[in-house]
Structure 1
Amino acid sequence: MRIAIHAVGKLKSGPERELADRYVDRADKSGRAIGISGVSSREYIESRAREALQRKDEEARELLADLPQGALLIALDERGDSPTSERFAGLLGEARDRGTPQAVLLIGGPDGHGQELLSRAGHRISFGRLTWPHQIVRILAAEQIYRAITILSGHPYHRA
C-alpha cells in the first residue's frame, strides 16, 4: 500500500517545508519493512473563484480527479473524529491488510473541503478543535503518518 498527502496550497521553501519533507522521507523509508511501498506528498493550486462554496467545489474536483481506484480517502476536517495515534495507525494497518492500494490524506484549502469530497471520504479526522494553519496541518499529517508506521512496526518512537 502507498500513503499520500494531497494538499491544496503550496508550502514555501523554509523550515515548514523542510520539516514536512523530513517526516515524509522518514515514513517512506520506514514503511517499506511493513508493506508500505511509498509515502508521498502532492500539492494542488488553490481556486481563485470569488465565492467560498465555488472555491471548495473546484478544489474538491481537483483532488478527486487525481485519486487511484480503490483508495482509502481520509479527509482532514475540523468536524471530523479525533482518533488517537494508535487508532490512526490501526486504520492504516487495517487498510494495508485488506489490500487497499493507497491511503490518501486530503487537506483542503483555507475554506475547507467541498461537499462532494466529504461525502466520498471513508473517514473524516480532525487534529483537534483548534484552528491550524495549513502549513502546520501538513507537518502534523506527515508526522502522524510516520508515527503510525512506527506504531505498526513496533519501533519505540511512539511512547504512549
Structure 2
Amino acid sequence: MLLHIIARGKIARSPEAELLDRYAKRLTWPFRHTELPDSGGRMPPPVQTPCRQVLLDERGRTMSSEAFAELLGRWRDDGVRETRFLIGAADGHGDEARAEADLLLCFGTMTWPHLLVRAMLAEQLWRATSILAGHPYHRSG
C-alpha cells in the first residue's frame, strides 16, 4: 500500500525536511510526499485506488501507535492501494474535506508546526509499518 503525505506549503531545506527524509528512507512500504501551494492548487488524483484519506486535524481522533498500525494493516489487508495523509495550511481543512475523509487524525491537543507534523507523521508511518512487521524497535508498555 502506498503511504502518501500531501501537504500545503514548501518544506525546502530544513531540519524538518531532514527528519522527513530520514524516516521516509526507513520505510519498507511504498512512500510519496507531495507538496501543494499554501492556498489554491488542486489535490492530485489518487495514484492508486482504492484509496483512503486521512486528514491531520486538531478535531481529529488521537490513536496509540499500535492502534494506528492496526488500522493501516487492516486497510492494506482489505485491498486499499493508497492511503493519503493530508496536512492543511495554517487554517487547516474545510468542512467539506473533513466530511469526505475516512479518518480525522490528531497528534494531541497542542498546536504543532506544519513542517514538524510531516516529520512526526513520517516517523509514525515508519513505526506503524515496523510494528506490523514485528520489528523489535517498538516495545509496547
Q: TM-score range by the shorter chain?
A: over 0.9
Question: Quick check: 2:69–2:132 contact (8 Å CA) kept in 1?
Answer: yes
Give the CA RMSD over aligned residues. Answer: 1.3
SS across alignment from 2:98? helix
SS in 2 for 1:79: strand
The alignment-based identity, stated in percent, is 43
The count of residues paired between Structure 1 and Structure 2 equals 139
Gaps of 5+ in 2: none
| Rg comparison, structure with higher value | 1
| Aligned position for 2:46 | 67
SS, match of residue 19 in structure 2? helix
Please give the alpha-carbon distance, in whole angstroms, between the structure 2 residues aligned to 1:25 and 1:130: 28
| 3-state secondary structure, aligned to 2:111 | coil
* Structure 1: stretches of 5+ with no match in the other structure: 32-37, 48-57
- Match of 1:105, SS state, is strand
Counterpart CA distance in 1 for 2:6 and 2:14 is: 19
CA distance in 1, matches of 2:109, 2:45: 29
CA deviation after TM superposition for structure 1 residue 14, in Å: 2.3
Identify, as 1 or 2, the structure richer in helix. Answer: 1
Q: Which aligned pairs between 1:21-60 and structure 2 lie closer than 5 A? A: 21-27=21-27, 30-31=28-29, 38-47=30-39, 58=40
The TM-score with structure 1 as length reference comes to 0.82
Matches within 5 A, 1:143-158: 143-158=123-138
